[in-house]
Each structure stands twice: as structure tokens, then as C-alpha cells.
Copies of this chain bind each other. A is one copy, B any other.
Amino acid sequence: MISQKDVAKKAGVSFMTISRVINNKGNVDEKTRAKVLRIIKEMGYYPNILGRGLNTNTTGSISVIIPFTTHIFGTEYYTELLNGVERACAENNYEILLNPKKEEITRLDYLKSFLERKSDGLLIIAPRIDDEQIRLIDEKSAPCVVIDGRQAQKNIVFIDGDNIKGGFLATEHLVRNNHTKIGFLSGWEFVRNGDDRLKGYRNALKKYQIGIRPEYIRKGDFTYASGYAGMMELLKLAERPTAVFAANDLMAMGALKAAKEMNLKIPDDISLVGYDDIAIANYVVPPLTTIKQFSYEMGYTAALYLIRKIRNKGEKLESRIFDVELIERDSVRKL
């Protein structure tokens, strides 16, 4: 392991000069600087972040925390979000630290990587609404931005898609196609985006004075399997819905499969709307009408905000809600 000392010895200067050169700090004679730089290259010296971090309390990485999926890289929704995060980090020379999870994350674990000084801040994606850890973040004064988890606490910056509007648009689209019996395949209600999409669904029905039937709302968890199961339940109802809004595309895919198995055609026999606009939505048969989120931009913005928070300790940043769009394809039929 090559250290400043080694470089210093070879260059015939003290190690402080090396430190000054690599940090561009203080005044160093141009000749000395050039020489040091040359030797650094020759020897293949790299500054040791651990040593530096011990002084500066800095590592140059941010932790991305995904409390819920088993697999971080499991869904395209996260994928796009993370692509945006990556871009922002690349532009600002930050690295991304991922905490693989055994099972469910427990109490203090959100903060662990930060408290252990492995990262400079936290990007938390879709935490539980009632999450107590969010409170601790403030207490430990960890720089933090939350994605998809609109918080009650004023001091926590969040980046959200407009899930209420999205839920509304999807449902309204079905209503405008003369559907009144509209099922909803929900995501987790204890995650903000799941809850908000349901809220949007409710708002739309209310606006158009359509009664809400509890049996039309089936609990799911954003997975393909739960979309399949929920759809099956809806289809077995005595008076089954003529249209279904799934809280994400993955569940819509599951619903599609259920319909197929029951020999029902989409959209002829039953209409379907998803959420997210993942790549498959466009390729599935029939192409899925869905709500598009700007996930990449959301991830990018969130990471940028976090980095700014880390760099300018005091800075107050405004939370932001990103717009959503209805993407009309072929899975909805006019009644």
C-alpha cells in the first residue's frame, strides 16, 4: 500500500506537501507540484479514503435504501429511478452504496451505513408511511432525501410522482369510456404511492358520483402474483367489474394472465389500466394503457438534491412532485 509518506520520501518533501498537491490546497511551488504529480503517477499512488474520511467525515458515496423489495434490482420502476441516481452521481463524483437485505429491514438499519460513516447521506425509496426511522434521521442529522414517500415532517425533502393525480387519471379514463364498475388492484397501502393511487381512484369515482364498492378493491403488494390473485377474485364476483385499474404494470400483467385463463379477452370483455409505463407494457398483447411516471428524472433530481444537501449543510430544498401522464394504448374499450 503506497501512502503519502512513500511519495514524500521519493519526492524529497514532507507528506504535507503531497497532501496539499492532491487537494489543491495552500500554495505549492509550481516545480514541486509538477514533480510530486509526476511521482504520484509513477508510483500509482491513490489517496486512502479511510484516512481522509477520518478527518473530513466524508466518503464520497451515498446510500440508496430500498426498504421493501426482496431484490433491489427487481422491478423496472427501481431500475429507471436508479439510472437517474447514477447519472447525478456520475456528474458529481459520488459513488452509490447499496445495502443488500436479508429479509425485512429492521429499525435502525436505514441509518446504519450513514452512522458507520460508510456514506455521506441517504436516499430512501418508498418507505413505510408510519416509518419511525424517518424521525431518527433528523435526530442523527443525516442528510436525506425520500423518493415516493411524501412525508408529514416538513424538514424531510421528498421527490414524488403525482400518484393521486395518476390514480385519478387512470380511473377517469375508464369512466369516460362509460365504465362504472371499476375494480382496483391495490399496492401496499402502507407505502405512500400505493395509498395515493387508491386515493386518486376514490377521488375520481366520487367526482363522477359512482359509488365505491369495497369488494371491487383488492389488496395487492405490487407483485405479478398479487395482480393475478386479485384479478381472479374480481372475476369470480357475482357482478364483476367491466374495467380494472391496477396500481402498477406488473400487477396489470398478472391480471392479464388471470383474464386469459378465464377466457376473457382484453379489452373486449374487460378493460385494464396499469401504472408506471414499464417497457413491457408496450409489448404485451394488447399494449397496455397506463400512467407514465418520470422515474429517471425523479431519481436524478433526488440524488442531486441529496448531494446539494451534503455539500451545503444549511441549504433548504423544496420537495417536488413530478407530473404523470396517461398513455393510451389498446387495453381499454368504450362501453
Contacts and interface: CB of A to CB of B under 8 A. Distances in A.
A98 B95 contact: yes
Interface in A186-219: none
25 contacts: A1-B57, A44-B115, A46-B115, A47-B116, A48-B54, A48-B116, A49-B50, A49-B116, A49-B118, A51-B54, A61-B118, A72-B83, A73-B73, A73-B78, A73-B86, A86-B98, A95-B98, A95-B100, A95-B118, A96-B100, A97-B98, A98-B98, A280-B280, A283-B284, A283-B285
B116 A87 contact: no
A146 interface: no
A78 B79 CA distance: 11
A59 interface: yes
A304 interface: no
Q: How many copies does the complex hold?
A: 2
Interface in A14-53: 44, 46-51, 53
Given A49-B117, A72-B82, A82-B73, A100 B108 contact: no
B54 A97 contact: no
Contacts of A314: none
A71 B83 contact: yes
A240 interface: no
A46 B280 contact: no
Interface of A: 1, 44, 46-51, 53-54, 57, 59-61, 71-74, 78-80, 82-83, 86-87, 89-91, 94-102, 108, 112-113, 115-118, 140, 253, 279-280, 283-285
Given A73-B80, A73-B82, A94-B100, 6 more contacts: A46-B116, A48-B117, A54-B54, A61-B118, A72-B86, A95-B99
Contact of A90 (B87, B94, B100): B100
A59 B73 CA distance: 23
Contacts of A1: 57
A303 to B, nearest CB: 9
A202 B8 CA distance: 56
A50 B44 contact: no
A129 to B, nearest CB: 24
A330 to B, nearest CB: 12
A97 B61 contact: yes
Contact of A118 (B59, B71, B140): B59
A167 B241 CA distance: 47
Contacts of A284: 283
A28 B53 CA distance: 30
A146 B319 CA distance: 41
Contact of A71 (B86, B113, B283): B86
Contact of A54 (B50, B94, B101): B50
A275 B245 CA distance: 33
A118 B1 CA distance: 14
A95 B94 contact: no
A59 B50 CA distance: 9
Contacts of A72: 82-83, 86
A54 B116 CA distance: 14
B100 A98 contact: no
Residue from A44, A47, A100, A113 whose CB has the most chain B CB atoms within 10 Å: A100
